[in-house]
Structure 1
Amino acid sequence: MRIILDKALKLHPLNKSKLIAGANGLTRPIDQFGVLEAPDSFKFVKNNEFLLTTGFMCKNNHELQYKIVKQLFNRGVCALGIKVNRYITELSPKVIDFCNRNDFPILYVPSEYGWYELFYPLLYLMYIHPGSNEDLLNKMTELSDRILNSNNFDEIVKYIYNIFNIPCYIHINYNNISAAYPVSFQTSDISEFVEHFNDTQTSFITNNIKRIDFKKDSILFSYIKHKMNCHGYILLYEKNTKLKPNDISLFNYIVVCIQFYSNKFLNSTRKFSPIHNKFLLELLNVKELDKKQLMYRSNELNIDLYKNYIISVSKNLPISEYEDLDKIYTFIENNINIKYKVLSAFDFNGNYIVFNPIDKNLSLEQIFKCTKLKIIKIKKELENFFNIKNFSFGIGTYHKSIDGIKTSYCEALRAFDCYKKFFNYDFIINFKDLGIYSILNNPSISDDIQKFTNKYIKPIIDSDIENNSELLKTLKCFFDSNRSFRNCAKEMNLHHNTIRYRLKKIEELCHIDITFENDLLELELALKLIPFLNKLGL
């Protein structure tokens, strides 16, 4: 069955598309559909073909964009849909002008759907139901509108029951929500169906649906998911009468619609969503904020800005490489925010921010101790989720009010950046504990630090290498032993005269006198800067 483009765009999820150019070409017919991902794919397209693409092959090349679009038009392609914000954020004016002049439709299609989900409604109409007419298309449009505009899952299961006249059951993992119609129809244990569904011996009858034998009857079972993340399950209880293939295909389209509805529903009920994340990032990064408006928005999102927070920051988490954002939001909410009673935010540069509320009943020392212990636990959660090791956190200090949140955030960034400059391994550092590293982080004195450290440490290292000695180890132990020869000797299981001899050797190598306090201070400072020296490859 041939279908007209503007009719196809009424079906979910294509109805989430945005027309960019070529509005007068919406009456073009669709005879087939396909995916365009290679620069020379236009050589193989067919007349009246509806094409979808991520735009990867021409993401940074406006001339190639124009060349491909022109070739597609010349070959009679119906329209081109581009997954928005995957690789192309905007088309060149030249492409848009060409499409408008030639009535060639270009659309941005929602990127969160797979190719199958985007094409399934057309597949159902054109091939699975080849004898269909416009009545079926109108029925599918009404079906998706009813589901997506429902107030709850109870309305949805009742609507599905009225379509197929067999019991329907939906279970959502989040908050353990269930809905059934008739209400008397309940399942004993959803895990039984999940186990059967995951059995590799059970075959799919469509891309999303399996038929499971259950107590001499049969169940049509499907995951409710977004991308690769499972939100829950939907099933139809067929009893003794199995649905016909056309009805099963219609049920498959219903599943696609419910998956979108469930994602919308979860985002509105969860305590951490893209809206919350965006608000928290704005709170930290926008220079001037209207505090009255800020408090109003925070109340709407149930974010308590009347509390005082200590901010912690980590960088370089592989968030941008992790495509399943729903899974990230769910993980952060359940495994971090709720579990440790904090707020979180992240961006696609790999920055992760923790807002830890202050317990005013604790002393400052106890507050910092509790914050660090909490960050250690959160760090382990992130390591397990992202399957990474050796990343770090900087922690700010305690300040009152909303302005204090931004101040604490800036301190956490400074703590992270300062300490990261000197150490390669993972760390959790408080801004108040930075000490000398806060000063040494100044880029303008980087060369001076290098020369200063070289002056004292490099001769000691060279001597240790040449003579297989332990001068550097002895020097470190000496300072760790509060500059006590005897304590150092005891720690290293040596005679105290051996320690004195080694320190005398260090004096000769570095041309200093450790009886002078200034020389001794410089030597200890140089020792603490060894990580900086190592970063320079010296």
Structure 2
Amino acid sequence: MIQNELTYSDFIGELIPLIQSNDEKKWDALKERLHEDYSDEKLQSHFYALQTLKQKADFLKFSTSTFEILHQINLEVASLAPLTDILNLSATHLLDVSKAHSVLVGMINHEKACIRIEAVAGIGKSDMLFIEESLDSPFQKQLSKNQEPFILADISEHTSLESPLFQNLKEKNIVSLICSPLVAHGERVGIIFLARTVLYHSKLPLLQMLKYFCHQTALSISNAKLYSNEVRVSKLHDELFEEALNKGGNKGILQKVSNFIEEPILLLDEFGNCIYEATPRNATSNIDQFNHAELYKYVLQSEDNPQTSFEVTHKRQIFSVFTITLHNQTVAYVIVPKRLKAFDRLSVVAIEQAKNVLALQINQEKTSIEVENRLRQDYLHDLISGLETEENLIRRARYLNISFEKTYAIIVMSPIESKEDHTISLNRVIEKFGYLIDEELLPLSMIQGQKIILVTPEQHIRTVANFALNYVEDKHPELQFHIGISNAIVRVKDYLKGFNEAKKATEFAHSFQFKTPIVHFNELGIIGLLFNTENTEHMKEFMNRYLEKIIQYDAQNKSELLKTLEVFLDNESAIQVSAEKLHIHYNTLRYRLNRIGEILEIDLAHTKNRLNLQIAIIIHRLVKQE
């Protein structure tokens, strides 16, 4: 009965501890020896029955423990425990109930296209945690093909799957793996690795139970993320409003969101001015990819079709642009150097929350600015109308922080094409001036009709005028201005006079078609003094006395005698030069001049007569302009 010195008692002695162990290799070895040493079929049958019973007991133990783990995980989820706690719980308890020597839980980061080991129990806990591996690695590509748990019985045979994670497992003397994907709602969110330093021989029922466990764990992870995200979003919402209420302003709001989405953010106003640029606190390097002016150009080009979000490309970098609107008008842009489709749902929610709070913040700021601007515009209107007492004007100036101890001058910007309505463009221009020009240089500004009126310190008058002209030429080429500048204004009551001087300077520029767009009133000399006379009716009578007959003659005979007289006087009564300018023979010019003298009953040879005619022509131009 007994062969190879193996006694029945020895066999029983080996069987008893084997029943208490989980080593299937020893079971198989003993079964093989039993087959070789004993011919007793009944004994072999009892052995097979014991082995089957042992497998069922192990499966039942694994199943029971698995349900206990899932119950604990769900309790953790319900208590809003951090996701890391749930992952560590899964790894630790799975190590206890399985035959694994190490359990690793990897989570997929679709944004970075990698898998990251977030929890480790057993061998390698200290140096396997937080290992990242690209989803494009051979190992991860192989894993992505499987939705069911599968065994890599001997990883040394899978040389084609070499990867950083694979190499780390080998260094820990891991021989075989069970890889079980974590799938929730049809999406692979991670994977659990059960690693052993010996070969795996798991049976199908255990793999099925592992699949069920991983599916339930994936759902728990998904729920935990959802709860965690809701908590994070709710907390961010409170923090954003706290920043707004505590006057943290746009800076505080933008910094919170930048930290939340872990991306740099740029906030531009509707004119392209940088309100604030935020960098996340965990940034390892300075962010310098925001070129405000260039980005704004691309934003304007892409905003033809109104959208709440769109993409622009600058220097091969794609930027996502989120518009902030008030009353159906865009007031700001949130710009992030990232593709729209690369944002996860949580980041989009965070940005939308920030947009809402920023809209309220901007609306409050705009309302405050508009109220102050309205007060300043009303004040300037009263200042240049001459209807308010000097005492009241000085008192109101103190409330607006305007000091009349400074010497100011007035700028009037008048569009050359006055037939068209430029109100919308003018409003944008003057609003932009409020952002770009310091309040000390531009304490007062307003629009009157189609004219822009600016008050600026006299010593900076040329600087402000040149800036205003250059800005309009660059940003609003559809507008062409003549700019008139008044003399220095010393007294409060002289602002009406200063306004008239600047306005008349632009009218002179229009009338004489000045090549230079900026005209200072004091450069006009006697012409300026003449036109500044309050008795305009007297000026018209003077003009008619000298020019009415010739104007009527030209109208009746379709001649150009008035033009001939203008050119003659403008060229200092030089016949040859004037004839060339008129493209006629000088004898023809002599004939015309004689005819003018006859019609006007005046001798053009007298200097006084020529001066009076020249003044009359100037008045004619100005009256015609008005």
Name the TM-score, length of structure 2 as normaliser: 0.45
Q: Which runs of 5+ in 1 are unaligned?
A: 1-134, 360-369
Matches within 5 A, 1:276-355: 277=377, 280-281=380-381, 283-285=383-385, 287-288=388-389, 289-290=391-392, 293-294=395-396, 296-299=398-401, 305-315=404-414, 321-322=423-424, 328-331=430-433, 333-334=435-436, 337=437, 345-347=445-447, 349-355=449-455
Matched with 1:167 is: 262
Q: Greater shift after overlay, 370-379 or 181-190?
A: 370-379
* In 2, Cα distance between equivalents of 1:220 and 1:520: 70
d(CA) in 1 for partners of 2:254, 2:508: 57
Distance across 1 between alignment mates of 2:239 and 2:312 = 25
Q: Cα 1:326–1:265, aligned 2, differ >3 Å: closer, same or farther?
A: farther
SS at match of 2:547: helix
User: Any idea what the Cα deviations from partners look like across 1:105-161, whole Å, max 9, x if unmatched?
Assistant: xxxxxxxxxxxxxxxxxxxxxxxxxxxxxx9xx999967743532423453246547
Would you say how many aligned residue pairs link Structure 1 and Structure 2? 374
**1:308 CA drift (Å):** 0.5
Question: Does residue 483 of structure 2 align to residue 430 of structure 1?
Answer: no
Q: Give 1:129's aligned residue.
A: none
Shift of 1:434: 1.9
Alpha-carbon contact 2:441-2:464 (below 8 Å) kept: no
Question: What's the secondary structure of 2:412's corresponding residue?
Answer: strand
Q: 1:508 aligns with which of 573, 598, 602?
A: 598
Q: Taking structure 1 as reference, are residues 279 and 419 closer, same or farther at Cα in structure 2, changes over 3 Å only?
A: same
**Relative contact order, CA 8 A, sep 6+: which one is greater?**
1
Contact 2:251 2:276 (C-alpha < 8 Å) held by counterparts:
no
Paired with 1:273 and 1:296, the residues of 2 have a C-alpha distance of 15
Contact 2:430 2:452 in 1 (8 A): no
Mapping for residues 25-44 of structure 1, pairs under 5 Å: none
Identity of aligned residues (%): 15
Distance 1:180 1:273, change over 3 A: farther
Judge conservation of contact 2:311–2:319 (CA < 8 Å) in 1. yes
Which segments of 5 or more consecutive residues in structure 2 lack a partner in the other structure? 1-230
Is the partner of 1:222 in helix, strand or coil? strand
Q: Where do residues 230-249 of structure 1 align in structure 2 (5 Å cutoff)?
A: 231-233=332-334, 235=336, 243-244=344-345, 248-249=348-349
Q: Higher helix fraction: Structure 1 or Structure 2?
A: 2
8 Å CA contact 1:319, 1:348 repeated in 2: no
Task: Give the 3 Å change call, closer, same or farther, for CA 415–189 of structure 1 in structure 2.
Answer: closer
RMSD: 5.8
Larger radius of gyration: 2
- Paired residue for 1:480, among 550, 556, 570? 570
Aligned residue for 2:289? 189
Which residue of structure 1 lines up, in the alignment, with residue 212 of structure 2? none
**Structure 1 residue 352, shift from structure 2 partner:** 1.1
2:536 matched to which residue of 1?
Answer: 442
Map Cα deviations across residues 88-115 of structure 1 (whole Å, 9 max, x no partner): xxxxxxxxxxxxxxxxxxxxxxxxxxxx
User: Is 1:257–2:357 an aligned residue pair?
Assistant: yes
SS at match of 2:265: strand
Counterpart amino acid of residue 156 in structure 1: I
Q: CA 1:516–1:351 in structure 2 vs 1: closer, same or farther (change >3 Å)? A: closer
1:531 deviates by 3.1
Contact 2:267-2:333 at 8 Å conserved across structures: yes
C-alpha spacing 1:529/1:413, structure 2 compared with 1 (3 Å) = closer
The verdict on how the C-alpha distance between 1:499 and 1:179 changes in structure 2, with shifts beyond 3 A counting, is closer
The code of the aligned residue for 1:480 comes to D
- Equivalent residue letter for 1:252: E
Matching of residue 455 in structure 1 with residue 546 in structure 2:
no
Q: Which secondary structure does the structure 2 equivalent of 1:513 belong to? A: coil
**Contact 2:445–2:452 at 8 Å: present in 1 too?**
yes
CA gap 1:256/1:311 in 2 versus in 1, 3 angstroms: same
Between the aligned partners of 2:342 and 2:513, the Cα distance in structure 1 is 66
Partner secondary structure for residue 434 of structure 1: helix
Partners of 2:625 and 2:250 in 1: how far apart?
57
Report the CA distance between 1:170 and its aligned residue.
Answer: 3.5
Q: Residue 74 of structure 2 corresponds to which residue in structure 1?
A: none
Three-state SS of the structure 2 residue aligned to 1:146 is helix
TM-score, normalised by the number of residues in structure 1 = 0.50
Q: Over residues 225-279 of structure 1, what are the superposed CA-to-partner deviations in whole Å (9 max), with x where a residue is unaligned?
A: 666556452549899996448x745642431321342465589899x96665555
Deviation at 1:331, TM superposition (A): 4.5
2:472 to 382, 400, 422: 382
Q: Distance in 1 between matches of 2:544 and 2:482?
A: 24
**In structure 1, what is the equivalent of residue 502 of structure 2?**
412
CA distance in structure 1 between the partners assigned to 2:399 and 2:453 by the alignment: 20
